[in-house]
Amino acid sequence: MIDLPKSILEKAEKIFEEKKIPQHKREKILENLKNAYKLYVYEPGEAIGIVSAQSISEPATQMTMRSYHVAGSAGIRVTLGLPRLMEIFDARRTPTTPMMVIYLDKQYQTKEKAREVAARIKEVRIREMVTDDVIDLLNSQLELKIDLKKAVLFNLDKEKIIDNLKKNTKDVTIKSHEDKILVSPKKEDTSIREMQKLKSKILDMHLYGIKGIQQVVVKREGDEWVLNTLGSNVKKVMAVEGVDGARTETNDIHEVAKTLGIEAARFVIIKEASKTLEEQGLEVDIRHIMLVADAMTATGKIQAIGRYGVAGSKGSVLARAAFEETIKHLTAASIRGRKDRFNGAIENVMVGKLVPIGTGMFDLTMKADENEKEENSKSKESK
């Protein structure tokens, strides 16, 4: 028996209250509603996967034709449209533009406070504190001129930077000279190439803020101050003072799966996919996307839609062979003597059997034992 979902019940309740419908009528209406709802539920044996696949891919073909570019818009440029959709369904390790939306605590709802938090989050590398870098080949040392005024903004001074350098480097001596930091390798006669390497390594060194957050934009969204970032690191950002950790969002599906679990990842897949389609002005029923997201997370790990994911882990050999890498699957199956149970749609189409979809899904069976019993008892009665 199918129960009415909560959203419909709530809606019905609201209408009952508005129209002041008496109690005995309400029950009757709910009964009718239930019957009407049942008509809309997919019947057992319906090929919902194929329906979903077509309902998503048809609008996706429109997307490529309608792609456009915005020049010089404020904020952070994101991957949109088909490339982003492919990224989601292929479950790529890292999105091309990892992004976070960070909400702030109540006490931080002013522009100044929001900026303060933003400064705490943005990753600062040594490169940004250095105004001038010179490789002194004569003394084989690296001279870094520090912008002390800028450093103060991030609660840093020269000593702190030197401490940081010492912690993160090996086999170098670090000296301080006026507003410069001198770094020289302990090893004698270092080649120019090694010096160059050392320089870029030091300049890229993490100094302050959260690793991976390249850019932070403070924005007003509704009646709240919100931070948008380029680069993503949920775990660290959630713990930052002033950040409302429970609402921190990211578009990196794998990161969410790792830090918040597979169910949260499913949520993000649905949200990102429907957002991408919506931005392009395409209407895809969210149920199709939900089905895809469920399929992608059914094993407990994120699986891509494709050769190495969902399609590659199908039970039937012939179904896998029909999709991609035919020879690989057929040879592997024949070497190992695999069986095909012909439970799916594709393999049955291939051999021309009845496809287990809709009415083809059911067989007539008869419980022989019970029938015999009944017959026996009947014959006894007649006697």
Residues that bind another protein (CB under 8 A): 5-10, 238-241, 245-249, 256, 258-264, 267-268, 270, 286-287, 290, 294, 297-301
Residue number with CB closer to another protein (126 or 253)? 253
Q: Minimum distance from CB of 234 to another protein (Å)?
A: 9
Longest CA span, the chain? 120
Residue number with CB closer to another protein (294 or 372)? 294
Contacts of 28 (CB under 8 A, 6+ apart): none
Report which residue type is found at 41.
Answer: V
Report which residue type is found at 158.
Answer: K
Copy the structure tokens of residue 138: 């004569």
Q: Minimum distance from CB of 208 to another protein (Å)?
A: 16
Phi and psi, residue 208, nearest 5° = -155, 155
How is residue 226 annotated by DSSP? E
Contacts of 266 (CB under 8 A, 6+ apart): 293, 294, 296, 297
> Shortest CA distance to 65 belongs to which of 288, 280, 284, 283?
280
3-state secondary structure 325-378: CHHHHHHHHHHHCCCCCCCCHHHHHHHCCCCCCHHHHCCCCCCHHHHHHHHHHH
Q: Minimum distance from CB of 69 to another protein (Å)?
A: 30
How is residue 94 annotated by DSSP? S
Residue number with CB closer to another protein (115 or 271)? 271
How far, CA to CA in Å, does 244 sit from each of 5, 28, 75? 31, 46, 21
Q: Minimum distance from CB of 129 to another protein (Å)?
A: 25
Residue number with CB closer to another protein (53 or 286)? 286
Residue number with CB closer to another protein (49 or 83)? 49
Q: Minimum distance from CB of 51 to another protein (Å)?
A: 15
Residue number with CB closer to another protein (207 or 291)? 291
Residue number with CB closer to another protein (141 or 297)? 297
Residue number with CB closer to another protein (196 or 362)? 362
Strands 215-221 and 224-230: antiparallel
Contacts of 203 (CB under 8 A, 6+ apart): 125, 126, 127, 130, 133
Q: Minimum distance from CB of 104 to another protein (Å)?
A: 13
Report how far residue 145's alpha carbon sits from residue 130's, in angstroms, rounded to the nearest whole number: 5
Report how far residue 244's alpha carbon sits from residue 259's, in angstroms, rounded to the nearest whole number: 16
Residue number with CB closer to another protein (261 or 281)? 261
Q: Minimum distance from CB of 30 to another protein (Å)?
A: 15
Q: Minimum distance from CB of 110 to another protein (Å)?
A: 19
Q: Minimum distance from CB of 264 to another protein (Å)?
A: 5
Q: Cα 272–273–275 angle (5° rounding)?
A: 65
Q: Minimum distance from CB of 368 to another protein (Å)?
A: 21
Residue number with CB closer to another protein (59 or 245)? 245
Copy the structure tokens of residue 278: 């919506």
